Structure formats: C-alpha cells, structure tokens
C-alpha cells in the first residue's frame, strides 16, 4: 500500500472490532464459557426486626435483640449446612447495639466478617465468609 492509496473503511472497521488477531495462523481459540447450572444468588439475612418477625410489633424492646441473635445463629447453622461460602447480614443503622452484638457473635464463632461500606449496604451490613 502506498501513501496515496485510500484505506478500505470496511477493513478498518473489522480491524477495530477485533476481526483480525495478532496470531498469523488465523486460528483464534474459543473461550471456555461453561456456565453453572445452578444459578448464583446473593445469600443475605436482613435482621431488621419487622422483616424477621412481621407479626412481632407488640414484642417489648428488651426482648427483640435476643430474638434477632437467635435468628442469626440459625442462619449460621443453615449456611454451614448448605455450604454457603459468602453471605451478607444486614443490621441497619439504629443505635448500633445490634451491629455490635452481631460482630461479637461472629467473632465468638470464629467467622471472618467485615462491614460493607459500598452500596447498597453503606456500612449497615456485614460480609461474612464461612
């Protein structure tokens, strides 16, 4: 090709979209796209009292925290039984009592956990690794 020849527009488009590889053989191996038959889903537990106990509005406040911690313990047992590796535990804002107690319980059971500062949790949930 000389300097005064026009560039073929279709050839340029094909080059820019990856139609040609750097491999001179012309053979481009296909990527292995094996998809799991089991759909991955986010495992999370929302410990807001009204979410866990929708009919428990008349429960006295001093009884709510122990009930929420019991739900947390059941969730941990079920997660281990079902081989869950990562889960999210939503504790919300509030006064921070639930957040502190959940952190203590996870530490007591030697479960790796950290607060999630990113959306959608904004520091109001723990990421748990079993």
CA distances from 58 to 50, 53, 55, 61, 126 (A): 11, 10, 8, 9, 28
Cβ-contact 94, 123 below 8 angstroms: no
**CATH code of the domain covering residue 125:** 3.30.1370
For residue 1, is it within any domain?
no
pLDDT digits (tens, 9 = 90+) for 37-54: 555 678 999 999 999 999
Domain holding 87, by residue range, is: 44-129
Residue with tokens 């959608």: 120
Q: pTM of this prediction?
A: 0.68
At 50-95, the pLDDT tens digits run 999 999 989 999 999 999 999 999 999 999 999 999 999 999 998 9
- Sign of the dihedral through C-alpha 21, 24, 30, 31: negative
Quick check: is 21 in a domain?
A: no
The number of folded domains in the chain is: 1
Confidence label for 4 from pLDDT (cuts 50, 70 and 90): low
């Amino acid at each position: 090709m000389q300097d005064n020849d026009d560039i073929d527009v279709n050839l340029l488009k094909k080059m820019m979209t990856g139609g040609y590889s750097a491999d001179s053989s012309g053979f481009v191996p296909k990527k292995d796209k094996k998809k799991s038959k089991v759909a991955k889903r986010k495992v999370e537990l929302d410990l807001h009292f009204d979410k866990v106990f929708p009919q428990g509005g008349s429960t006295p406040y001093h009884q709510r925290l122990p009930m929420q911690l019991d739900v947390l313990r059941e969730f941990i047992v079920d997660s281990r039984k079902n081989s869950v590796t990562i889960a999210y535990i939503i504790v919300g804002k509030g006064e921070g009592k639930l957040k502190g107690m959940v952190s203590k319980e996870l530490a007591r059971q030697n479960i790796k956990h950290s607060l999630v500062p990113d959306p959608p949790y904004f520091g109001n949930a723990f990421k748990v690794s079993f």
